[in-house]
Structure formats: structure tokens, C-alpha cells
Structure 1
Amino acid sequence: MESLITLLLCSFAFNPSPTWATTLQSSHFKELICNQCQQYCENTDLVTAGNTRVGKAGPRGLRGFPGPRGPIGEPGVIGPRGRNGPVGARGSEGVVNMTLIEQSMDRKIEEVHQMYAPRSCDGVKSDAALSRTDSGGVFKLFIPEVGVRNLFCDLTDDGGNWVVFQRRMYGNVNFYRGWGDYVKGFGDLQGDHWLGLEARHQITKDGNMEMKIKMIMKNGVYWVAKYSDFRIGPGSDKYRLHVSGDSGNATDEDDFSGNNFSQFSTKDADNDVASWTHCASDLEAGGWFRSCDSTNLNGNFNRTDSKGFWWGYYDLRFSEMKLRKRA
């Protein structure tokens, strides 16, 4: 209602009718119009009753605070793609890292071997041998937790399929070694060698394995000791020996089975039960020694005393230890 009255006053002030002309001369009414109609006062000098002139309105006041921000508008249309920049200068020729390439190729070859390599000697094919002898040859076999390894398979003796894990025939390989060598293995697979303890543990850990020891004296006498059960414990138990079921013409003088449940010892790892001495150091070899009076096929091959012998037989010119799955 008040806004309507103000609108009417301003309308009459700017467009007075003859009826309102006298009324507009009233000082009070002019002030009322000034208060209500800013536009009229800015453009008109009003004269009060006392002939005092009222000036125009003063300058505009300070701008108020901005209102709230409006909503974000719709995204604009993506413009056309600009021209390609100039081609940069060619960099210097790189160097081919042959080491990385060879390592990558080795890994690929290893993967292929793991897929297709046999798990034991009874799965090998003679034409896959890396090298051959009259009795067998060197083959690639896959051993769980170890990987692909080269092993010698005896394919002829007593039905074949034997994995040879120890052989002495030339005496040109030193067997007086530390723990690390015996765990990993050493020597020439076609000559004197020792298959590592870890590989042997992985092959025999599930049981159902038999082991055979073959020996030849310098006078030609032939000895055999065979065991129907052979297993090697894990490294955490020092590759403890589990052997039983002996047979053969060498078992009458056999003390190898007397080492059953013995841990493996080397010159730097004394795990025998002899508290008075260190058997591996005394016998100059690594092996399963209960109390230093057992077999020592890893001893000095050229000695004719207890440092290289099978029980009471010291004069050996050949020894071989091998294992296979029991039939």
C-alpha cells in the first residue's frame, strides 16, 4: 500500500494537474515528494516556505556487497585442434644392453624347460642328452623348488633310471669343502661330482625312493650296497639322513646305515654326535658322521687309510651313489 502511494505522489509531482498545482507550492508537500521521489529531487530545485532552496541529491553511496554467485554455465564447444609443432631433433643413438637381453632370454628358456623338462631319469629320452657315456648321460631335469638342473642319469645299471648324486673315479675333484659347496653341488657330471644336498632333499622328500652304492676296489673286487628306503631331510634340519632296508654283498661290513638319522657335517659345520672331535675335519670330508667310525666315501680318494674308505676297505678306485623311485 505504501509503495502504491509513493508511486502516485511521484506521478503527480512529475506530471501535475491543474487541480494539484496549488498543492505542490506547499513546502511540506514538496519535502514529502523529495523524500519519496529521488528522481524528482535530483532534477528539480524545490523552494520551501521560507524561500530556502533545496539542492540536488548528493553523490551515490558505496556499492553494496555482491550477491551470491550464479550457477556455472554449460561448457563451451571444444575448438578445432591446432597445427602440429615442428619435429624435434633426433636423439643420440642408444646402446643395446646385451646383459638384460641375455637375462631375459635365459628366463624364457628356463620357463620352457620347467614346462617340458622331465622330473626324474625315468622320463628322459636318450636323444635329449647333453652328453653321453656308455652307462647314460647328462640330462636337464626339473627339480621342484630348485629349478632346472643338469644331472647324470644312469640308464643301464639294474634297470636304469638312476640319478647319480656322488661319483669318485679320477680323484681330480677336491671333496674337502665347506657347507655351501655341499648344499649347492660341485664337480664334473661325467666324472667326479656331488649333487647338492638341497636338490637331493627336494627329489627324496616325498619318500618312495631307493638308493644304491657301487664300489670297485683297485684289485677289481666289486661291492654293492642297496637300500630300499632313502630320504634326505630339509636344510633346517641339517639335511638329516633317513636310510633303511639294506641289501647287497657290501652290507656285511656296512656302517652307512649306522649313520641313519645323522645330520650332515662339513669342515665348517660340525653336526656329528662325537663331542670329543670334529669328524668332518678329522676325516677330511663332508658326510653323515655319527661318531667318525663310519663310511667316508667323500674322503681323500688317494688315501689308503680311514680318511677315504668303506668300513674296512680303504683301497677303492671307484665309488658311485645313486637314487631312483622305488618300483
Structure 2
Amino acid sequence: MSASKMKLLLLLVLSVSAVRGASDYDEDEEIIVALKPHVDARGHRPLVQGSERVMVSQPAPPPISGSVYRARPTIPPARSALRKEPEVQPDEGGCTHPSEELGALCPNGCELKSALLKQERNVRPTVAQLKNDILGLSQSSSIIYKYVEGLSNELRERQRQTQDNGNLVNEYTSDLEQHHIYIKQSIDTTFPSSIRHLRGVLDNLRSKIQKLETAITSQNEKCKKPCTVSCSIPVVSGKECEDIFRKGGVRSEMYLVQPSDSFFRPFKVYCDMTTQQGGWTLIQKRQDGSVDFGRRWDDYKTGFGNIAFDVGKGFCETPGEYWLGNDQISQLTKMGPTELLVEMTDWDGNKVLAQYQQFTVQNEASNYMLAVARYQGTAGNSLMEGAPQLFGDNRTMTIHNGMMFSTYDRDNDRWSPGDPVKQCSKEDGGGWWYNRCHSSNPNGRYYWGGQYSRDMTKHGTDDGIVWMNWKGSWYSLKEISMKIRPYFASKR
């Protein structure tokens, strides 16, 4: 069917509709007119003039305002007579519209399915390839993410290490600066002061060496002849110095005593008749280092040294360096209750004492075991309490009470008994009631000046004349003496 025929058909339909509508309107109008009286349009004036009533007209109501319809659409211009070639769509499907200008209608469901299936067959390999590509990209992205994360962690660790190294370098730099300051200060100040001090010590040592050389020369001159006691021994004698004092011997000098046991022969002693009302028997004396106390067991058993000598008064009133003898000491203390007095002097002239109201030394069968009690004094209770600088077992090892006597050839101490290398007497320079090893060492080596160092010793130990409770270690006393007498509960 052509387009012109369609236009004619539409005009025909519209005309029939309009005629039918006008016919319906006129029929209604005729019905209304039939109900009213007929009036001649031209003959409305009355025949008789003046008999017509004047009609007063009522005012008309206002017209309705507003609009029911919108404006009419603009009539499009007539189409050009030129025919437009229809555009053919690929795979358009469906049917063609009667009017060629309207193109192709939409495809039906089957055609649409066929088209979609056809396109799906073409698209599916591409989609599968895209999936594989996306999966590969995802795996690559995961690997790259882990690699980047590892690099980030390593970078943070390197940064932390760098920061730590920086802090360590700063710390070492600060320490080096402090050491540099210390070394510079030592070079500028400490070393010159130490050198001056060492020069003073060297001069002091030279002076002491000269004194020792003079003393050795003097001793050599005296020892060219056999040593003899040139002073006379007082006639008065007794069991011990207290007995002599009670018999009238009131001058401090050398006496001859014989304890009550007649098995022992009389022996010489020095009696102190002035200290604490006298009556003291001197059993040990150190004052100038003239006698070597590093002796064997037999020497300590019988005694050694110079008991006393004459300084020009005609009698032996000045005590020398000596050890009375363990047999004699044991014999004197076994006669009855005995007290011990230890007097000490340092190199500045200060003096202290340690006094024990009970003092006993057993016989040789018991290795001259020591027993002391009831301390009083100012030097410190070395024999019973040990070194105050130590604590616990270390301090207990320095207590001398209850110990047996030891010499370098008779080891009775508690430091590895039977071991010839570990011997207190061998290391500490003399015979004594050693434990492991000492807090006091009256029979040690004599050092001039008091202070001494490890390098000055024979075995690297504090082997001087030490009383640790007063002066501590590494200080050798100038003088020390040990005296005994019978103990009295009340004054004479």
C-alpha cells in the first residue's frame, strides 16, 4: 500500500466522523425549538403600537476566564518530496513497517535469541581469553604486591638498622669524646702529679735503702763475733713475770722463769712491769724487721730472735724482735687462766690494743691449737670475728680462734689441707694460727712505710704485718707485741 493511498483513506475516515458529529448536534437543537412558541424573526414588532410591554434586560454574568486546552501544536512542514533511502541495520531481523520511512520493526523473541546466541558464540572465546588475562593479571598483581610488601618491610628494617647504627655511632662517639677528655686530662694533670709522687716515693725508698744498708753493715759488724748476752740477769726469778713482780722485780727487763712443771728447764723472757700495772710476759715482738719470721716448725716450737739487749745502762732493758716459742707459751697458759694483750703502732704513731681475758695454747700433740674469749679494746676483734670487710663464709674463713698453728713446712690450715701449693704460711710469710687464711698476721713480712702493693710481695698476697680490723689489707704495721699474764677477776 502506497503512502498516498494511506493519506486518502485517513481523510475519508475523518470526513465521515465530522458529518456524523454535526448530525447529532442538529437533532438536539430541533427538539429544543419544538418545545418553544414560534416567533417570526422579522415580524417581532406588535401590530398595535403602544400595546407592547417594554422588557428590562438583566446584566450578563462575567465570562469564564482561563483556558481548558493547551496551545495547539505547530503543524510540521510538509515533507520533502525527495525519498529517503532506508538504512539497513546489520542483523536487524523482524518485519518491515508498511511505511518504508519508518524502517524495520523490533525483532521477535526467537530472532532475538538467535542473534544473541550468534553473538555469544563470537564473544565467548574473547570473554574466556579476558578471564584468563584477568586471572593472570590478578596473580601477577598478587606477586607484585607481595614483592612490594617485602621491599617495604626490608626498607623499614634497613631504616631501623640505620637508625640503630646511627644511635650506636653517636654513643661510641660520645664515649670516645669522654675518653679523649679523660686521657687529655690525665696527660695534662694526672700523669705529672703521679710522676711527682713516684719521685717522692723513689726518694723515700732510696733513703730507706740507705738506712737498711747502714743497719746491715752494723749487724754484720756485730755478728762477726758469736752473739753473747753482755748484760746480767737479775737474781730474782719466778714461774712467770707476775710471780716475779710479786717477789719485788719491778723493773722491765730480761728475767729467767721456770713454770711449775719441773720437766722444762728455765728459759729467758722479757717482763713488762709498767703496762697496766705490770706482770706481763712478752711472747712476741716486731719493731724493725731485724729478724726473719719466715721460719720452720721447730724454730717456732723452741723460739728464736733477740729477747733483749743493753743500750748502755748495764742491763737488758730493751726488748728485741723475737718469738718466745710455742712450747713455752703453751706451758705458761696451761698453769691457769691467762689473758692476752696485743699492742699495735702504725707509721704515724697511732696506737691501739686488743685484749682477751681468756687465752690458751694447747701442746704440740694438738698442733698448739688456739683458744681466746672475752675481747675488749680499740683494734678490733680480729681473732674471734674475722675481717670486717668480708661477709658470710668469706669472713668466717678469716677467724683465728680454734685454729692450729701452721708453718710453711707444717701445713695445718683449712685451705685445701694436704695441698703443698695452697698453704697460708707459705704465702703469708710466717707462722700463725691460719684459717683460710687470715684477718691478722703479726708474724708476716716487715714492710717499711706501712702501705705496700701486690707487686712488692713474694706471692701476690697481703703478707705484711696486718691487722685488718684496724688498718685493713695492704698496710704493714710499724710495731706489734703480744704479752700474757695470769688473769685476775679484780684489781690487785
Q: TM-score, normalised by structure 1?
A: 0.60
The separation in 1 between residues aligned to 2:321 and 2:278, in whole angstroms, is 20
The separation in 2 between residues aligned to 1:315 and 1:256, in whole angstroms, is 21
Per-residue CA shift, 1:5-57, capped at 9, x if unaligned?
Answer: xxxxxxxxxxxxxxxxxxxxxxxxxxxxxxxxxxxxxxxxxxxxxxxxxxxxx
Question: Match of 1:262, as an amino acid?
Answer: M
Of residues 208, 215, 238, the one that matches 1:118 is 238
The separation in 2 between residues aligned to 1:127 and 1:200, in whole angstroms, is 22
Structure 1 match to 2:412: 271
The separation in 1 between residues aligned to 2:429 and 2:378, in whole angstroms, is 27
SS, match of residue 302 in structure 1: coil
SS, match of residue 180 in structure 1: helix
Deviation at 1:128, TM superposition (A): 9.0
Confirm whether residue 299 of structure 1 aligns to residue 456 of structure 2. Answer: no
Per-residue CA shift, 1:186-218, capped at 9, x if unaligned?
Answer: 001121000000011111114310001000000
Of residues 469, 476, 483, the one that matches 1:315 is 476
When residues 117 and 136 of structure 1 are mapped into structure 2, their CA distance, relative to the original with a 3 A threshold, is closer
Q: TM-score, normalised by structure 2?
A: 0.40
The answer on whether the counterparts of 2:400 and 2:438 sit within 8 Å (CA) in structure 1 is no
The answer on whether the counterparts of 2:383 and 2:401 sit within 8 Å (CA) in structure 1 is no
Of residues 204, 207, 214, the one that matches 2:343 is 214
The separation in 2 between residues aligned to 1:117 and 1:324, in whole angstroms, is 15
Per-residue CA shift, 1:63-119, capped at 9, x if unaligned?
Answer: xxxxxxxxxxxxxxxxxxxxxxxxxxxxxxxxxxxxxxxxxxxxxxxxxx9xx8410
SS, match of residue 250 in structure 1: coil
When residues 169 and 256 of structure 1 are mapped into structure 2, their CA distance, relative to the original with a 3 A threshold, is farther
The separation in 2 between residues aligned to 1:117 and 1:211, in whole angstroms, is 21
The separation in 2 between residues aligned to 1:186 and 1:128, in whole angstroms, is 28
Aligned-residue sequence identity (percent) comes to 30
Confirm whether residue 196 of structure 1 aligns to residue 325 of structure 2. Answer: yes
Structure 1 match to 2:401: 260
Deviation at 1:315, TM superposition (A): 3.4
Question: Match of 2:480, as an amino acid?
Answer: S
The separation in 2 between residues aligned to 1:167 and 1:146, in whole angstroms, is 23
Structure 1 match to 2:358: 229
Q: How large is the Cα RMSD of the aligned pairs? A: 2.3
Residue pairs, 1:98-247, within 5 angstroms: 117-124=237-244, 136-143=252-259, 144=261, 145-189=263-307, 190-247=319-376
SS, match of residue 320 in structure 1: strand
More strand, by proportion: 1
Question: Match of 2:463, as an amino acid?
Answer: K
Gaps of 5+ in 2: 1-234, 308-318, 386-398, 453-461
Per-residue CA shift, 1:192-249, capped at 9, x if unaligned?
Answer: 0000000111111143100010000001111100001000001001000011111100
Deviation at 1:268, TM superposition (A): 0.3
Question: Match of 2:413, as an amino acid?
Answer: D
Gaps of 5+ in 1: 1-112
The answer on whether the counterparts of 1:207 and 1:229 sit within 8 Å (CA) in structure 2 is no
Structure 1 match to 2:311: none
The answer on whether the counterparts of 2:339 and 2:359 sit within 8 Å (CA) in structure 1 is yes
The separation in 1 between residues aligned to 2:404 and 2:276, in whole angstroms, is 29
Aligned residues: 208
The separation in 2 between residues aligned to 1:283 and 1:291, in whole angstroms, is 11
Confirm whether residue 286 of structure 1 aligns to residue 286 of structure 2. Answer: no
Deviation at 1:125, TM superposition (A): 6.0
The answer on whether the counterparts of 1:162 and 1:323 sit within 8 Å (CA) in structure 2 is yes
The separation in 2 between residues aligned to 1:325 and 1:175, in whole angstroms, is 27
Q: Identify the range of structure 1 (177-186 vs 255-264) with the bigger mean alpha-carbon deviation.
A: 255-264
SS, match of residue 425 in structure 2: helix
The separation in 2 between residues aligned to 1:222 and 1:292, in whole angstroms, is 25
Residue pairs, 1:26-37, within 5 angstroms: none
